Structure 1
Amino acid sequence: MHPSRPRSDTTCIDPGDRLQLHVPRGTLLFAVEGQVHMVEPPRWLAEQMVSVEQHLSPGQVHEVGQDGWVQLTALAGAPARVARVPPPAVGPRLAAGLAKMRRAVALLARRGIRMA
């Protein structure tokens, strides 16, 4: 396996069974076989809590948009296998650059300069 490529975990779910997985934002869920109903963690949208739901068929991929618990249900018919690929780790140079950018934005905000 390539060192910068994240390792995937495969989960099997029996038909009708439900599984909850805690995943970070950016995790890819890949339906390997079977039909899966996926519900993302709830998030705020215009003063309402909403959850993204999607049916995944074999070969379909979904990127999780929010940290939290994802609920997977194998739909009737056959067991389902879902591969979970975590988001790539942020390298030290990128992390340092983001920290520097956050400090610069905070400094501008303290001086009353707004960024458009």
Structure 2
Amino acid sequence: MQTSAFEYEDIGPLRLRAGQAVQATVRRGTVVQVLAGSVRVCEPSRWLAERMISPARTLREGEAMQIDGGGWIEVLAQGCQAQVLVMEPVPVWRTYWRLAISAARRARLSLGHISEAL
């Protein structure tokens, strides 16, 4: 798995019964990690040489993968119950918004110290 500069939001662990499948939309850069059991992850469909394909990969306990493109994925529990953690990257605008609010708070605090000194 490649490391990236994304900040992640935890969607929460999904608990799947044996044979249960879940479909969800995800953003580019989403990480799927298996906490228990084994799952098959079908990535979003894409075009390859004028054919539509949906790459799939089996992940076992402790393994993770990063989804290269946004779209619909399917997670299928294989054999027994599985627990999966899905983490989506935080949108860039939200990161900048947090930085702006943090800077405004620091500026307000430093202005408060200056007014107390006067």
Q: Structure 2 length as normaliser, TM-score?
A: 0.68
Instruction: Measure the CA separation in 1 of the matches of 2:15 and 2:52.
Output: 29
2:58 paired with 1:55: yes
Instruction: Measure the CA separation in 1 of the matches of 2:62 and 2:95.
Output: 34
Instruction: Measure the CA separation in 1 of the matches of 2:86 and 2:95.
Output: 26
Higher helix share: 2
Percent identity over the alignment? 29
Amino acid at match of 2:27: P
Q: Which runs of 4+ in 1 moved over 2 A?
A: 4-7, 91-94
Question: Gaps (5+ residues) in structure 2?
Answer: 1-5, 97-118
Question: Gaps (5+ residues) in structure 1?
Answer: 95-116
- Residues 92 and 53 of structure 1, relative CA distance in 2, 3 Å threshold: closer
Query: Map of 1:3-82 to 2, 5 A cutoff?
Result: 5-9=7-11, 10-77=13-80, 79-82=81-84
TM-superposed deviation, 1:6: 2.4
TM-superposed deviation, 1:25: 1.1
Higher strand share: 2
CA contact (8 A) 2:24 2:74 kept: yes
Higher Cα Rg, which structure:
2
CA contact (8 A) 2:43 2:55 kept: yes
Aligned residues: 90
Q: Provide Cα deviations, 1:23-54, integer angstroms capped at 9, x if missing partner.
A: 11110000111100110111011211111100
Q: Structure 1 length as normaliser, TM-score?
A: 0.69
